[in-house]
Amino acid sequence: MKKVRSSAFVLALAPVLALILAFAFALVPLAGCAPNGGSGGVSVDRRGSDNSSSADNSADNSSSADNSGSADNSSSADSSSSADNSGGEPAKSEVTIGFPGIPSGFDPLVTSGHGSYVRLLYSTLVALDADVNVVPDLAESYTISDDALTYTFRLRGDAKFTDGESVKASDVVFSFNQIINSATEIDLSAVKSVTSDGGDVVVTLKQPQSTFILSAAGVGIVPEHLYSADFAQKPVGSGPYKLAQYDVDQQMILEANDGYYGKAPRIKRAVFVNMSDEDTQLIAARSGQVDITPTSATLAATNTISGFHLLVEKTVDNMGIVMPVIPAGSGTSSLGNPMGNDVTCDVNLRKAIAYAIDREQLCAEALNGYAAPAYSENDGMPWWNPECVIQTDVAYAIELLEDAGWFDTDGDGIREKNGLRASVPVYYFAGDSARQAVAMSAANQVRDQIGVELLVEGMGEGDIMAVMVAQPMVLAWGSANPITSYYLYHSSSVGKDDWYNPESFASPVVDGYLDSALSAKSLKDAIPFWQKAQWDGSAGTSMRGECPFIFLVNKDHLYFRRDGLSTGRQMIHAHGAAWTLVANLADWYWEN
Model pLDDT for residues 139-159, shown as the tens digit of each residue: 999 999 999 999 999 999 999
Q: Which residues are within 8 A (CB) of 49 and not within 5 positions of it... i.e. 6 or more apart? A: 62, 312, 314
pLDDT of residue 144: 96
How far apart CA 511 and CA 583 sit, in angstroms, is 33
- Backbone φ and ψ for 446, nearest 5 degrees, come out as -65, -40
Mean pLDDT, the chain, whole residue set: 86
The mean pLDDT of 330-346, rounded to a whole number, is 96
Give percent of the chain with pLDDT exceeding 70.
84
Q: Rounded distance, CA 33 to CA 564, Å?
A: 12
User: How many angstroms separate the CA atoms of 440 and 457, rounded?
Assistant: 9
Looking at the predicted structure, is the pLDDT value of residue 372 above 50? yes
Q: Distance between CA 239 and CA 221 in Å, rounded?
A: 9
Tell me the CA distances in angstroms from 162 to 137, 167, 258, 332, one per residue in order: 16, 10, 8, 50
For 537-581, write each residue's pLDDT tens digit: 999 999 999 999 999 999 999 999 999 999 999 999 988 889 999
What pLDDT shows up at residue 458? 96
- Three-state DSSP class for residue 136: strand
* Residue 183 pLDDT class (50, 70, 90 cuts): confident
- Please tell me the predicted confidence (pLDDT) of residue 91: 56
Rg of the chain taking only CA atoms, in angstroms = 25
Domains of the chain: 8-102+249-314+557-590 (3.40.190.10), 118-231 (3.90.76.10), 318-554 (3.10.105.10)
* pLDDT mean over 351-359: 98
The C-alpha atoms of residue 201 and residue 154 are separated, in whole angstroms, by: 7
DSSP 480-537: SSTHHHHHHH-GGGTT--SSSSTT----HHHHHHHHHHHTSSSHHHHHHHHHHHH-SS
Q: What is the pLDDT of residue 347?
A: 98
Q: 373 pairs with which residues across the strands?
A: 553
Between 433-450 and 394-403, two packed helices, what is the crossing angle to 10 degrees? 70
Q: Kindly tell me if the per-residue pLDDT of 364 is higher than 70.
A: yes
Choice between 398 and 499, residue whose per-residue pLDDT is larger? 398
- Specify the DSSP element, H or E, that contains 424: strand 423-429
**Host H or E run for residue 433:** helix 433-450
Angstrom distance (rounded) from CA 118 to CA 120:
5
Helices 523-534 and 508-518, axial angle in degrees (round to 10): 170
pLDDT at 111: 78
The pLDDT of residue 34 is above 60: no
- Spatial neighbors of 425 by CB under 8 A, at least 6 apart, are 454, 455, 456, 457, 471, 472
pTM for this predicted structure: 0.82
Rounded CA-CA distance 160/167 in Å is 5
Q: Is the pLDDT of residue 125 over 70?
A: yes
Question: What are the residues facing 150 on neighbouring strands?
Answer: 204
pLDDT digits (tens, 9 = 90+) for 399-453: 999 999 999 999 999 999 999 999 999 999 998 989 999 999 999 999 999 999 9
Which residue blocks in 324-368 are alpha helix, DSSP H? 347-356, 359-367
H helices, E strands: number in the chain: 16, 24
Residue 7 has pLDDT above 80, yes or no: no
pLDDT value for 276: 87
Rounded percentage of the chain residues whose pLDDT exceeds 90: 77
Asked if the model's pLDDT at residue 78 lies above 50, the reply is: no
Amino acid identity, position 382: P
270-275 mean pLDDT: 97
Average pLDDT over residues 299-304: 95
In one letter, which amino acid is 459? Answer: M
Question: Which stretches of 240-317 are assigned E, i.e. beta strand?
Answer: 241-247, 251-256, 269-274, 292-295, 308-313
Are 271 and 253 in contact by the 8 Å Cβ rule? The answer is yes
- Which pLDDT does position 115 carry in this prediction? 63
pLDDT band at residue 292, thresholds of 50, 70 and 90? very high
Residue 387: pLDDT above 90?
yes
pLDDT one-digit tens code per residue, 459-478? 998 899 899 999 999 999 88
Flag whether pLDDT at 133 surpasses 70.
yes
Q: Which residues contact 462 (CB under 8 A, 6 or more apart)?
A: none
Q: Residue 368: its pLDDT value, please?
A: 96
Q: Is the predicted pLDDT of residue 587 greater than 50, yes or no?
A: yes
DSSP state of 570: P
Which of 63-77, 257-271, 376-390 is predicted least confidently? Answer: 63-77
Q: Answer yes or no: is pLDDT of 208 > 70.
A: yes
Q: Which among 318, 2, 459 is positioned nearest to 189, based on CA atoms?
A: 2
pLDDT tier at 479 (50, 70, 90 boundaries)?
confident
Average pLDDT over residues 27-55: 36
Structural contact between residues 330 and 387, judged by C-beta atoms closer than 8 angstroms: no
